[in-house]
Amino acid sequence: MDKHALTVSARKILAGAFIVAIQAFGLAYGNDKFPIVDSGSWVIGRDKAIYWLDDRRVLFIGHDLVVPMSDREPKLALLQWDVGKATKIVRRGVEWLCYRPGQIAYSVRDEQSKARIFFQGALGKELRVEARNPDTMNCDVTYGPPDKSENKDVKQLLRGHGYLYLGPAFGKESSENTSVFLVREGETRKVQLPFGRRELSVVEYYEFRKAYFVQLNYFDSSKGIGPTTTWPPGTAQKAYWLLPDGKTEQVKLPGDISGPIPSRAGIAFRVFGTNTAKDGIYLVTPKLLRAVVLRGYVTQTVLSPDGCWLAFSHAPDRESDAWRPKNRRTLKAANLCSGAKE
């Protein structure tokens, strides 16, 4: 065996040992209430790059070295991690990703033309498609643009659930806080919802509740405030659970948290960008107590279908949240349901 082959072989052995050691370490930045598993794999920092395939497997965009232990510049890749096991490469060159059960969409960059090529379909059976107006709720990049002649501003829900009608897309009313309605698939009757279009912020479907979590902006037209994600001090932040049949359940959240993620164990949220020891992930328990899940620089968080595991990209601090060579950002997962439920 020549020197180069020995070096490559040694690197592979070291990389494997590194992954196993990190996964066994587990509690590096958390605590014994919330066991944390580290994949040891680099993950891209932008939002919407991590998706759960099921309650134990994660699909994400990382790089083709998995663990950076080479002088070669890494390239983006689609990876799969079974929590507690080694990460494997699904496809090299993937730059954008969207996943829903039964449907995946992603793009790769053509090396010659530099154009983005899109693929879509069941995982492992995806085909090349022509991208039009992406429907990210259903991970369908072939979804056509809205018919402007209808003058409707809508937000798509999952297939079979219909859409939210926000009001006219153009004209004076398009800037007003018009009522939001649920229009169920196959029906013309509209179900009025208890918030307006300018209050509407993020709509995400949570499998463990079989419902949409609707985050609201703070908006007070009488005072000329909003819409804004910053709620007044001492004010409870409002959100709603929206069931596919139109029923709603109001949720009151602490006004000082951002990016709330509802789970079976409580409301998870992250503190980001303060560059202090406050940065990290926290959990608001059912009794409104706050628990530290882990500290560090977290750029994205995604909840598993069962509502217990939180996957996230994490680095100890901002300085180590990088591409290379100072990169210490990896994909990790925390079991929120194992913590105390006070």
Which range (24-28, 136-140, 175-179, 317-321) has the least confidence?
A: 24-28
Answer for the pair 26, 38: CB distance below 8 angstroms, yes or no: yes
pLDDT exceeds cutoff 90 at 340: no
Angle at 235 between CA 233 and CA 240, to 5 degrees: 140
Amino acid at 78: L
For the cut 50, the answer to whether the pLDDT of residue 14 exceeds it is no
| Arithmetic mean of pLDDT over the chain | 86
What element of type H or E holds 252?
strand 248-253
Closest CA to 317 of 258, 274, 283: 274
pLDDT tens for residues 69-120? Answer: 556 677 899 999 999 999 999 999 999 999 999 999 999 998 888 899 999 9
- Tens digits of per-residue pLDDT, 188-226? 899 999 999 999 999 999 999 999 999 999 998 888 888
- Contact between 218 and 231 under an 8 Å Cβ cutoff? The reply is yes
Q: CA quadruple 118, 120, 126, 128: dihedral positive or negative?
A: negative
Give the pLDDT of residue 32.
Answer: 66
pLDDT at 270: 94
Please name the residues in contact with 310: beta carbons below 8 A apart, sequence gap of 6 or more: 261, 263, 268, 281, 293, 301, 302, 303, 304, 333, 334, 336
Give me the pLDDT at residue 318, please: 86
Which helix (H) or strand (E) covers residue 18, if one does? helix 3-25
Torsion of CA 125, 131, 133, 138, to 10 degrees: 10
List, as one string, the DSSP characters of 170-239. SSGGGGS-PEEEEE-TT---EEEEEEETTTEEEEEEETTTTEEEEEE-EEEGGGTEEEESPPPTTPPEEE
pLDDT digits (tens, 9 = 90+) for 147-159: 778 899 999 999 9
- C-alpha–C-alpha distance, residues 145 and 32, integer Å: 49
Q: DSSP per residue over 151-188, as a string?
A: --EEEE-STTT-EEEEE-SSSGGGGS-PEEEEE-TT--
Q: Are 312 and 50 in contact (CB under 8 A)?
A: yes
- pTM of the shown model: 0.87
Q: Which positions ≥6 away from 258 have C-beta within 8 Å? A: 229, 269, 270
Residues, the chain, total?
342
